[in-house]
Amino acid sequence: MKNNLILLTGNAHPELAKKIAKKIGAPLGELAVFKFADDEIFCKININIRKRDVFIIQPTCRPVSDNIMELLIIIDACKRASTRSITAVVPYYGYSRTDKKDQPRVAITAKLVADLLTVAGASRMIAMDLHAEAIQGFFNIPVDALYVMPIFIKYIKEKIGTDNLVIVSPDAGGAARVRAYAKNLGPEVEIAVVDKRRIGNTGRTEVYNVVGDVKGKKSILIDDIIDTAGSITKAAEVLMERGASEVRAMAAHPVLSDPAMERLEQSPLKEVLVTDTIPIAASQKIKKIKVLSVSDLLAEAIRRIYYGESVSSLFA
């Protein structure tokens, strides 16, 4: 790697940043990011980054507001240090589920965060499995939207097999996602959709139908986020009731808010595949959960962007 490439990270996920740096063969740049006694965040970059291409690795996961603010402050520090370019590498984009005005008098926070990143000085963003593809259009800078699908596809082919397999969406909104998985896995792989209805504004869901044949089949539920795990575990229960031989779940982002762990433990899910876009606490590493790393994919994307190569060809 040329000396002009600089990798930085805040406090959100230093383990992932270290993996990416190792894959690229470039050290993480030294910087100090900490809070004063009144919770104000301070950042100082301890290396020369003038006219360098800086990549800041910082998922905006829990604590979301702190991690977003850290990212904004690091970007501002880089801009004021006269960098040539600043790429925000955001494996998990917080507030992505608030992407439209679906109720009266609500904010579109995903757009607000996009504006903040742009105004702070980011010249490009890399994200993974955005909750809504429309979020790319919220930015006035280039956005490289990556997908964990190649990682999960490889696992399915090597560890599970495609015989008697059905890929399932836990809701109607994810139908396009499961079609893409089935297309990449082969013509023998079928798809199904769990139809559900939300009950008022309580956040609870009622699963009531399965569109597609799952009887006697290995079923894999595909989603982008597992938060409280209510939808994914209820969908697994319905699939088993409809005769599925086994059910797994795969999701890019393991948010895992309470009571997710309890629900996953008690569910009929055989295995839960997630990635390390978000750090997982030791207490959350239960036997059912297997974590696959996105570090190779992100490292290759960063390398291609730095050298001006195609990123979209990663998924060709």
- Is residue 79 within 8 A of residue 113, CB to CB? The reply is no
pLDDT for position 285 = 85
- Is residue 229 within 8 A of residue 256, CB to CB? The reply is yes
205-226: pLDDT as tens digits? 565 789 999 999 999 999 999 9
Q: Please give the chain's pLDDT, 316 residues, in tens.
A: 457 999 999 999 999 999 999 999 999 999 999 999 999 999 999 999 999 999 999 999 999 999 999 999 999 999 999 999 999 999 999 999 999 998 999 999 999 999 999 999 999 999 999 999 899 999 999 999 999 999 999 999 999 999 999 999 998 889 999 999 999 999 999 999 998 766 666 556 565 789 999 999 999 999 999 999 999 999 999 999 999 999 999 999 999 999 999 999 999 999 999 999 999 988 888 899 999 999 999 999 999 999 999 998 777 5
Residues of the chain with CATH 3.40.50.2020: 5-146+296-315, 149-293
Q: Computed from CA positions of residues 255, 295, 177, 111, in that sequence, does the dihedral angle turn out positive or negative?
A: positive
* Residue of 71, 87, 68, 88 whose CA lies nearest to 31: 71
pLDDT for position 303 = 96
Active site residue 196: yes
The whole model's pTM is what? Answer: 0.93
The encoded tokens of residue 34 equal 């900490």
pLDDT for position 304 = 95
User: How far is it, in rounded angstroms, from Cα 166 to Cα 213?
Assistant: 8
Fold of 149-293: Rossmann fold (3.40.50)
Per the residue annotation, which of 19, 111, 196, 218 is the catalytic one? 196
pLDDT for position 32 = 95
pLDDT for position 195 = 87
Q: What's domain 5-146+296-315's architecture?
A: 3-Layer(aba) Sandwich (3.40)
